Structures are given as structure tokens and as C-alpha cells.
Amino acid sequence: MTIRLPDPTGGLRTYEPRPEPFAVTPGAPFTSRTVFSAAHVVADPFADTTPDSPAAVDWDATLAFRRHLWSHGLGVAEAMDTAQRGMGLDWAGAAELIRRSAAEARAVGGRIACGVGTDQITAGTLAEVRAAYEEQLALVESSGAQAILMASRALAAAASGPEDYLEVYGHLLRQAAEPVVLHWLGPMFDPALEGYWGSADLDAATDTFLEVIAAHPDKVEGIKVSLLDARREIDIRRRLPQGVRCYTGDDFNYPELIAGDDKGFSHALLGIFDPLGPLAAQAVRVLDTGDVQGFRELLDPTVELSRHLFQAPTRFYKTGVVFLAWLAGHQAHFTMVGGLQSARSLPHLARAYELADGLGLFPDPKLAEERMRNLLALYGVTQ
């Protein structure tokens, strides 16, 4: 059987779906790398909502997906960009997500880290930004999860220079109960974060970022770098204080960054590991044996899919992630909070299906094909 898929030229091409999924071999916990998947949320498709109303979440399906990730040995990075923070999921929804996911993690023995931001305010003074961060940090710490200090739109708007970032982050790190992960999210993921760390010059911004860490190395467990610039990430990780980890957030260059070189490597905290979960877990277990080539042979072929999902405008990658979760049978519908299921074109989604199917990511290829055919028919594509 073949399926006709639309392409960006307006034509149709014939694709023959893969008959069998990628064979997943269960294994022991990872030993060489710490790996988190930033996980998406599942919307409630029956809720009577609008794109600008509070998110309605299907909690059962959302938590079931986290159990799927934990079952493969992955940690869950919760309430992050992938969960549509600031793009459909407000602070009230994120707070509930953190509470529920942290409780689920305790119940199943899964590792979890949660995003701490300032999205309960849209703008404010530096004092108000600090207070917003403090509120979220307190909730995450009380849930028993590790805190990830996310970049703040409100801080980017309020700060007048590097000294304001040093003051705000220094204040937060001094009061953090346990070491945190610092997250530098680039403007390709969120345009409101342009000039973060007090400068649009990335060299100057990097210096400020590293100054924050150097002043509080005992309170920074690691950093997550999401700049889609492999050379800059390597430079940053080589300049980190001893004992501070680098978690790659580079969804374009993750295989080489995780594999590393003779001077070090990156751990992982990636949105692309949401759809790649089982395959990524198997690749890391191969790496645990010291087989770098085998690791690259498994993970390198996934980069084309990742670059497709994260192509500009990068912030809409969540649409492809949720689309693939639907095709894979992890949820019963392709609906997103904030209505973001409409954020990518049909040709884009068709190519995502083709690339994911080629990798064997769908546990039931026939189900994925049937759902893809239904979506095509909805758009008027006849087979």
C-alpha cells in the first residue's frame, strides 16, 4: 500500500509506509549520560475553549505520556517550552502540571525537573520579576522536583543591562534549597528573549551567563543551552566550573554534542526526545557501552526529522511534536492548547509523518497511516 502526500510545491508524491516499527530493546538505567525529554501536554479536545482562554488539559493522557518516557529510562523536563509555556499554557496550568507530574514521578520512581519562570506576570519591575520567580521556585521545590530556572520575558523587558541579570539570578541562587539547572533559551525559540543576559552580542551575553555560574557553582547543577549553535555550546561547556554539567538543548546538533570529544560532552534536555524517546534511550544505552559509532549510527539519522520539526519559525515545533504523538497512538486526537495544531502547514506535517515513519517511530505503523489518511482527507486530499 502507498499513500499520496502533499509537498510544498502543491503537488502530490507517493510514499510507501514502513511495515514494522523500530525494534526497542528494554535496558538498564543510563550510566554515561543524564537524559531528559522535555514533554508536551495533551489538550482536552472536548473543552469549549478559545486560543486565548486558559488551557484545558487532558490530565490522564498527559500523565500517561510521562509514564511512557519514564518506562524507557528518560527523565522528564516538565512545564518547559515543549509544554507550551507562554504559548497556550499559563502559570495556573503549569503549576497544576508540576504538582501532578511530580506526584506521578514519586509514584513510579521517575526523574523529574520542572521549569521555573515568571509567566504569572507579563511585565514588571525587577522586584516583581524576582517575586514571580520566587513563587514558582517555591512551588517546584515543595513538589520535590529539581528546579530549572527558565529565561524570563519579563526580566528581558525590565533589565537595563548585565548587572540586573547578575542581581536577579544571584538572589535566586542564594535562596535555592538545592542546585538548579540554568536555562538559556535563544530568541529563535522565543523572540521576546532577544538580548538575554544583557546584550545582543552573544560573546558578551555568554560572559555574563558564565559569571552568574562562577559566582554560585555550588547552586548550579547544570546548564541547558538552547541556541542551535554547536560551537558556542562546546565553548561554554569547556568554560564551566568543575562539576557543573552542560545539558544540550540543541535540537539541530544533539548527536555530536552528546557523543562529545576528548575534552568533554553534553548531557541532554531536549524537546526532540519527546517523539524520539524509545530510540534515543536505546542509542544512549549503546553509548553507555563505549560504542560511540553505534550511538551515532542510531541517532544521526534522526537529525533530519528534528531539523524539520524545528525549522523556522522554531517556536512552532510543538505542533509537529504533538502531531507525531497522535500518529504514534499516545493520544486520541490532534488538538493542542491554544489551537496550535494549526501552526504548521499540511505539507510540513506530511513530511514529518514520512520522516518519522522512515525511522520506525510509530509502534503501530498501520494506525499512523490510517490517521495520516484521515487528516489528508479532512484537507481534501484524495487517495
Give the rounded percent of residues in the chain with a pLDDT score beyond 70: 100
pLDDT at 1 over 90: no
pLDDT at 25 over 90: no
Mode of pairing for the β-strands spanning 146-149 and 3-6: unpaired
pLDDT digits (tens, 9 = 90+) for 270-315: 999 999 999 999 999 999 999 999 999 999 999 999 999 999 999 9
pLDDT band at 383 (very low <50, low <70, confident <90, very high): confident
pLDDT digits (tens, 9 = 90+) for 126-150: 999 999 999 999 999 999 999 999 9
Mode of pairing for the β-strands spanning 35-38 and 267-270: parallel
pLDDT digits (tens, 9 = 90+) for 329-357: 999 999 999 999 999 999 999 999 999 99
pLDDT digits (tens, 9 = 90+) for 209-234: 999 999 999 999 999 999 999 999 99
Q: What is the average per-residue pLDDT within 155-174? A: 98
DSSP state of 196: G
pLDDT at 238 over 90: yes
From first CA to last CA, the distance across the chain in angstroms is 11
- What is the reported pLDDT for 27? 86
Average pLDDT, rounded, for the chain: 97
Give the rounded percent of residues in the chain with a pLDDT score beyond 90: 96
Cell digits of residue 133: 520567580
- What is the reported pLDDT for 8? 87
Contacts 24+ apart (CB under 8 A), 225-229: 225/184, 225/249, 225/250, 226/81, 226/183, 226/184, 226/185, 226/186, 226/189, 226/250, 226/251, 227/184, 227/186, 227/188, 227/202, 228/186, 228/188, 228/252, 228/253, 228/310, 228/314, 229/186, 229/202
pTM: 0.96
pLDDT digits (tens, 9 = 90+) for 58-108: 999 999 999 999 999 999 999 999 999 999 999 999 999 999 999 999 999
Q: What is the average per-residue pLDDT within 163-183? A: 97
